[in-house]
Amino acid sequence: MNQTDKAKAFTELHRKGDPLVLYNIWDAGSAKAVADAGAKALATGSWSVAAANGYGDGQDIPLLQLVDIARAIVASTDLPVSIDFEGGYAEDGEGAALNVARLIDVGAVGINFEDQVVGGSGLHTIEAQAARIKAIRAMADEKGIPFFINARTDLFLKVSDPVRHAPLVDEAIERAAAYAEAGASGFFVPGLSNPDLIGGVCEAVVLPVNIMMRQGMDVKTLAGLGVGRVSYGPGPYRAMIEWLKGEASGVYQGR
């Protein structure tokens, strides 16, 4: 498939109640392993990519290095590839669009794009984030790529206690509507774990909703709630590193 066909296929995999499952990767090697395991598409996690290259999360990894990693991943597989692009490495829409264009040029068909102020505090206003999404959509349309913009809200990550999440749902739904109108393709609510709240968001939001897997969750239950995409975030990388530490400890402690 060419890039356009991959982008269309990636979008079609997002179905409410029959979610696309993304076991997040961090480099070409992990991409190949997950693809060989039967994945239908691939997506990076920003925390994992940063950690695998010696950086912290939050756009610490240089933009051009991230683009090179995306290029290597795309070259390693025939599957559609989405890149966790955090805040787009720019505050304004024009700058974010120019940076996303770099990912499109190396073959990516989608991004995660978050509304928190990376390196600052709080979230971008709904209007500001919608304008940023609109600029990215306009750029992708000019390139003729039906690019998947997974619009992430950090509302629930900013409040760590799940008991306090219910009052945030209305704003999340408001943000989802604005982001959809601006050209977003999906709506990502990492940190949201209450099944009733997840179901309510899925019912109210026209976009396929992305939930990040947490302990106690399972894909079947999330599908029943209407979720359209399930991702694993930094979990796979952390599990791999713990396995590696364990294997290495066995070697060195046994010497």
Query: Which domains does the chain possess?
Result: 3-253 (3.20.20.60)
**Lookup: tokens for 157:** 């990550």
pLDDT in tens, 29-68: 999 999 999 999 999 999 999 999 999 999 999 999 999 9
Percent of the chain with pLDDT over 70: 100
pLDDT of residue 129: 98
Res 207: pLDDT:
98
Query: For 216-225, how does the pLDDT look when each residue is reduced to its tens digit (9 = 90+)?
Result: 999 999 999 9
Kind of pairing, strands 110-114 and 81-84?
parallel
Q: What's the pTM value of the predicted model, to 2 decimals?
A: 0.96
| Residues 217, 219: Cα–Cα separation, whole Å | 7
Run of H or E residues at 204: helix 195-204
Q: At residue 171, does pLDDT exceed 70?
A: yes
d(CA 6, CA 107): 9
Structure tokens at 94: 């024009």
Strand spans (E) along the chain: 20-22, 42-43, 81-84, 110-114, 148-152, 186-188, 209-212, 229-231
Cα angle 249-252-255, degrees, rounded to a multiple of 5: 140
Alpha-carbon gap, residue 98 to 120, rounded angstroms: 21
Asked if the model's pLDDT at residue 254 lies above 90, the reply is: no
Q: Report CA-CA distances (Å) from 177 to 181, 183, 201.
A: 6, 10, 11
Average pLDDT, the chain: 97
CA distances to 53, 109, 146, 147, 177 from 139, in Å: 29, 13, 11, 10, 21
Give the Cα separation of 106 and 97 in Å (integer).
Answer: 15
Flag whether pLDDT at 105 surpasses 90.
yes
- What's the mean pLDDT in 179-200? 98
Identify the DSSP state of 191: T
93's tokens: 């829409």
Q: Which two tokens stand for residue 216?
A: 């106690």
pLDDT at 145: 98
pLDDT tens-place string over residues 106-139 = 999 999 999 999 999 899 999 999 999 999 999 9
d(CA 115, CA 15): 23
Over residues 74-97, mean pLDDT:
98
Query: Can you give the pLDDT at residue 255?
Result: 58
